[in-house]
A and B are shown apart, each in its own frame.
Chain A
Amino acid sequence: MEISNKLINDLAPTKFGKRGVIWTISLIIISIAGIIAYIDQVVKGQVVTNMNDYALWGIYISNFVFFVATSFVGAVTVAVLRLTNNAWRTPIVRIAEIISVASIIMAGLTIMIDMGRPDRLLYLFIHGRMQSPIIWDVIIIPTYIVICLLLLYFPLLPDLAILKNHFSKTNPKLSKWYGILSLNWSGSEKQKSIQLKSIQIIAILIIPAGFVLQTVDAWLFSTLFRVGWDSTNMGAYFISGASVAGVGALVTVMYVIRRANKLEAYITDYHFDKLGKFLVLTCLIYLYFNINEYVIPEFTSKKEEITHLNHLYSGQYAPLFWFVIIGGLIIPIIVLLFKKGRKPLPMFYVGMLVVIGSWWKRFLIVTPTLLQPFLPIQGVPESWHHYFPSFHEWIITFATLAMALLIITFLVRYLPIVPIQRTADEQEETEINKSVISKTVTP
């Protein structure tokens, strides 16, 4: 069947307008600033950070945890949408997979920023010991990167072939690239069945891989003797938190792409509504785990536990804590429970709120715990009783976020965000259905 030109024109990636260019350049500038700051850190050592022997993991680690969490969106949308064969998934899954790819690649990079001796990175392989949760991470992160990339790539094949033809006259160079990447896709039955099978296998693989990734990340903390980490709740807590962060990011990115690429006809209010319901569900589950984590320990009142909780409720991190709980969780839940709240624009704001809340949430998981050791902090400089990131840490962290957005931007620039072939097939199906119905109805 011929795919209508209108469809291809609508969905094929286009050159950026002025705004797009400014956006990309800003991201590049921030990234470069971060790289310079990182080089400075390598030269001078981690003294340029505000970390110390107590708060020895700061925003580098919490930012890493955030990226890992966000990368879960690929797995969760696949798990929920592809496998349940939800018809509304078509314009959504590819964005989810792009976010996953960008986040997990950046997660892999950010964890290295925290290393005191990046020059010894290879020791992880030469001297690696299986019993260390860090090695579990070293295994699962690259695995997940590969799975995410494949899950993005395989469904793209037919679209790449379409784009090859589409650009053959206007942009032969680009067309050639699409041609190479499409692996000679011709749409034959044989190719289709191989493709379908591969996608099915990866779509199933990404689910356990995603769960393992989040759980390993949780175990980085729960395998340690620290108040606030040493909890059996951690694995499930992280998985549900990752769903919130991931779906929040998905909503936000989806809104921006829809506007930038004028995809209103393809990503509709209906999709936002569905996704809003999904987000509110993940938020509610996460709220449940937060209650387990922050309220229930009050009852058994172990001394360390109470000190830690009070530190969060009313101590130096209280404003942040309440912002994260109320702004990042409760307000989104309330807004999303209303139909009007699930319109695209309010969803965008809610998504932003959820993402920012999720980022700070990771910070609250990592740092306050470190400032509550079993033995009191004594005999160190006064500044070691607190932690607030230094200029270097902020710049580097912003750069990692900018790089993630840059990867997303790049992919959006060159890939069809809404799958062309699938949309065409679906349209055809509905056409057939309609004619079948009309035929049976009109005798």
Chain B
Amino acid sequence: MANKKTEEGSNNRRNFLRLGLMSSVSAVAGATLISNLTADEVEPSGEKIRVLTPDGKMVEVDAKSINKYPEAVITPTESRKGIPDKKFVMVIDLAKCKNARKCVEGCQKAHKLDDHEEFMKVQLIQNNEEGSPYWFPKPCFHCDEPPCVTVCPTGATFKREDGIVLIDNERCIGCKFCITSCPYSARQFNWGHKEKFEDKSQPYSPETQVPAAEGTVMKCDFCPDMLRQGKLPHCATACPMGVIYFGDKNEDIVTNGSETVSFSQLIKDRGGYRHLEHLGTKPNVYYLPAVNRQFPVERGFDVDEEIIERYKDVPFVKELKEQGKL
């Protein structure tokens, strides 16, 4: 069994690499980056998955050929399984971030989020008074020891085999316990009713979290619907600086759409770390420290007044304001 896995793994790796190269040519065109499970030489897994097509039909397909139905909606039950043999990971290169906010906007558009509903948040972090502040894009970390999953009383929040942590808003009872449990404030609550919840043109799936529902929780989902189509999550595609790398740990490969690299090598070479490692939540989002930066941090203030206001408590921003530079 294990042998078979490795064999498949190496097969997939070939595909993935090939695609990785291809993607460097047609990056934003959304070439299939996550090894195309549909590649002809891949044997059917024998495991069946039921999916809902956009016109409302339930079809049964082999787990491995799911990508043949890129438009398919994965039902809440199916969404608990995850994409076979994958272990998704994200690497965020802080040295390249200039608070362009394209990741935030891309994500909001795809998930039909309103203002202030941000699965991806760009924070301004200053580690100490002397330290130079840096922009810190923060999604859900899809922890391997996710406290949110542990405390959820109904299993509405769950961890899948491919490492992704999702929420089934048809099961969530709105106790908000998971929000308090997340040390990274990654979760948001739908406090009231909104018109967009009624838009049922797209059948609900935990993989897209659309439409959202009143009294339930939502958060960054790593865009599994895109991954099933072999595409990158919306934030990674949207970033003009290539800050966000995404990939598969099993394959040891990550890409930001224009550059495909070995995950372990990247972490080794660039001193990758995880935020608040000492909590032991084992995030699947890694950061490359903000050294040798491509932009001075001030470049990030080239945004709306309202956005700047968000960071008013950061010592550096206070200083700038005092000096009248903002």
Interface status of A251 (Cβ within 8 A of chain B): no
The residue from B138, B156, B174 contacting A375, defined by CB atoms under 8 A apart: B138
Inter-chain CA distance A215–B280, complex, in Å, is 24
Q: Give the chain B neighbours of A370 by CB distance below 8 A.
A: 180
A46 to chain B: closest CB distance in Å? Answer: 5
Residue-by-residue, is A115-140 near B (CB-CB < 8 Å gives 1, otherwise 0)? 11100110110011101111100100
- Which residues 276-326 of B sit at the A interface, judged by CB distance below 8 A? 276, 279, 281, 307, 310-311, 313-314
Segment at the interface with B among A80-88, A223-231, A242-250, A421-429: A223-231
Q: A144–B326 Cα gap in the complex (Å)?
A: 59
Chain A residues with CB below 8 A from B311, complex form? 378
- Number of chain A residues whose Cβ lies closer than 8 Å to a Cβ of chain B: 44
Q: Check if B58 is an interface residue, CB within 8 A of chain A.
A: no
Contacts of A376 in B (CB 8 A): 123, 125, 313-314
Contact (A378, B310) CB under 8 Å given A45-B191, A117-B215, A127-B171 = yes
Query: When the two chains form their complex, are residues A375 and B191 in contact, meaning their CB atoms are under 8 A apart?
Result: no
Least Cβ distance of A383 to chain B in Å?
Answer: 11
Tell me if A51 is interfacial: C-beta within 8 Å of chain B. yes
Bound-complex Cα distance A115 to B189 (A): 12
Interface assignment of A379: CB less than 8 Å from any CB of chain B? yes
A116–B176 CB distance below 8 A: yes
Q: Do the beta carbons of B174 and A117 come within 8 Å of each other?
A: yes
Residue from A51, A224, A381 having most chain B Cβ neighbours under 10 A? A224
State A55–B172 Cα separation when bound (angstroms): 19
Is there an interface contact between A374 and B151, defined as CB atoms closer than 8 Å? Answer: no
A373 is an interface residue with CB less than 8 A from chain B: yes
Kindly list chain B residues whose C-beta atoms are within 8 Å of the C-beta of A378: 121, 123-124, 310-311, 313
Instruction: Say whether A56 contacts B176, CB under 8 Å.
Output: yes
Q: Chain B residue with minimal CB distance to A127?
A: B154
25 contacts between A and B (CB under 8 A): A45-B190, A46-B174, A47-B191, A47-B192, A53-B187, A53-B189, A56-B180, A116-B215, A117-B172, A117-B173, A120-B172, A127-B153, A127-B155, A131-B151, A132-B151, A133-B151, A134-B153, A138-B153, A223-B150, A224-B147, A373-B183, A374-B276, A378-B124, A379-B307, A380-B310
**Are the CB atoms of A129 and B179 closer together than 8 Å?**
no
Residues in chain B within 8 A of chain A (CB atoms): 116, 118, 121-125, 138, 147, 150-156, 171-177, 179-181, 183-185, 187-193, 214-216, 276, 279, 281, 307, 310-311, 313-314
User: Complex: how many Å from CA A267 to CA B203?
Assistant: 66
Q: Which residue of A lies closest to B176 (CB)?
A: A56
CB atoms of B151 and A124 under 8 A apart: no
Chain A contacts for B150, CB-based, 8 A: 131-132, 223
Q: In the bound complex, do residue B189 and residue A375 qualify as a contact, i.e. CB atoms below 8 Å apart?
A: no
A114 lies within 8 A of chain B by Cβ: yes
Answer yes or no: A349 CB below 8 A from chain B CBs: no
Q: A134-B177, A375-B184, A378-B123 are in contact. Are A46 and B153 (CB under 8 A)?
A: no
- Beta-carbon nearest neighbor of B313 in chain A: A376
Complex formed: what's the CA distance from A225 to B182 in Å?
Answer: 7
Name the one of B123, B155, B156, B183 contacting A225, with C-beta atoms under 8 angstroms.
B183
Q: Which residues of A contact B156 (CB under 8 A)?
A: 123, 127
Contact at B191–A134, with CB atoms within 8 Å?
no
A134 pairs with B151, CB closer than 8 A = yes
A114-B176, A116-B214, A116-B216 given; name 7 further pairs at CB < 8 Å: A44-B192, A123-B156, A223-B150, A223-B151, A374-B185, A375-B184, A376-B123
B122 engages A45 (CB within 8 Å): no
Q: Cβ of B171: which chain A residues have Cβ within 8 Å of it?
A: 120, 123, 127
Q: How near does chain A come to B170, taking the closest CB pair, in angstroms?
A: 9
A127-B171, A225-B183 in contact; A375/B123 too (CB < 8 A)? yes
Give the chain B neighbours of A223 by CB distance below 8 A.
150-151, 181
Chain A positions within 8 Å of B, measured between CB atoms, are 44-49, 51-54, 56-57, 114-117, 120-121, 123-124, 127-129, 131-135, 138, 220, 223-226, 370, 373-381
Residue of chain B at shortest CB distance from A53:
B188
The closest CB in chain A to the CB of B121 belongs to: A379
Q: How far is the CA of A378 from the CA of B281 in the complex (A)?
A: 22
Residues of A within 8 A of B173 (CB): 115-117, 120-121, 123-124
Q: How far is the CB of A119 from chain B (nearest CB, A)?
A: 9
Q: How far is the CA of A226 from the CA of B188 in the complex (A)?
A: 17
Task: Please report the C-alpha to C-alpha distance between residue A210 and residue B46 in the assembled complex, in whole angstroms.
Answer: 53
With both chains docked as a complex, state the minimum distance between the C-beta of A310 and any C-beta of chain B, in angstroms.
Answer: 14
Q: Which of A129, A220, A375 contacts B154 (CB 8 A)?
A: A129
Residues of chain B within 8 A of A380, CB atoms compared:
116, 310
* Chain A residues with CB below 8 A from B155, complex form: 127, 129
A223 to B181, CA, bound (A): 8
> Within the assembled complex, what's the spacing in Å between the Cα atoms of A131 and B157?
13
Do residues A379 and B184 form an inter-chain contact, with CB atoms below 8 A? no
A226–B151 CA distance with the chains assembled, in angstroms: 14
Contacts of B180 in A (CB 8 A): 56-57, 224, 226, 370
Q: Which residues of A contact B307 (CB under 8 A)?
A: 379
Q: In the complex, are the beta carbons of B153 and A379 less than 8 A apart?
A: no
A52 to B150, CA, bound (A): 23
Once the chains are docked, how many angstroms separate the CA of A206 from the CA of B6?
57
Q: Are A117's CB and B188's CB within 8 A?
A: no
A114 touches B175 (CB 8 A): yes
Chain A residues with CB under 8 Å of B175's CB are: 114-116, 134
Closest to A374 in B: B183
Nearest B residue (CB) for A384: B116
Chain B residue numbers with a CB within 8 Å of A117 are 172-174, 214-216
Chain A residue with minimal CB distance to B214? Answer: A45
Contacts of B189 in A (CB 8 A): 46, 53, 56, 116
Q: What's the nearest-Cβ distance from chain A to residue B56, in Å?
A: 25
Specify which chain A residues have a CB less than 8 angstroms from the CB of B174 in the assembled complex: 46, 115-117, 120
CA distance A283 to B176 in the complex (A): 32
Asked if A56 contacts B147 (CB within 8 A), the reply is no
A380 to B117, CA, bound (A): 9
In whole Å, how far is A57's beta carbon from the nearest beta carbon of chain B?
7
Query: B122: shortest Cβ distance to chain A, in Å?
Result: 7
B181 near A225 with CB under 8 A, answer: yes
Q: Please indicate the chain A residues that have their CB under 8 angstroms from the CB of B138 in the complex.
A: 375
Please determine whether B191 and A51 come into contact, CB atoms closer than 8 angstroms. yes
Inter-chain CA distance A114–B313, complex, in Å, is 31
Q: Which residues of A contact B153 (CB under 8 A)?
A: 124, 127-129, 132, 134-135, 138
The distance in angstroms between the C-alpha atoms of A57 and B185, with both chains bound, is 14
| Chain A residues within an 8 Å CB radius of B123 | 375-376, 378-379
Which chain B residue lies CB-closest to A52?
B191
CA–CA, A56 and B150, complex, Å: 19
CB closest chain-B residue, reference A44: B192
* Cβ–Cβ contact B193 & A379, under 8 A: no
Sorted nearest first, the 5 A-B pairs with minimum C-beta distance are A116-B174, A116-B215, A47-B192, A45-B192, A134-B153
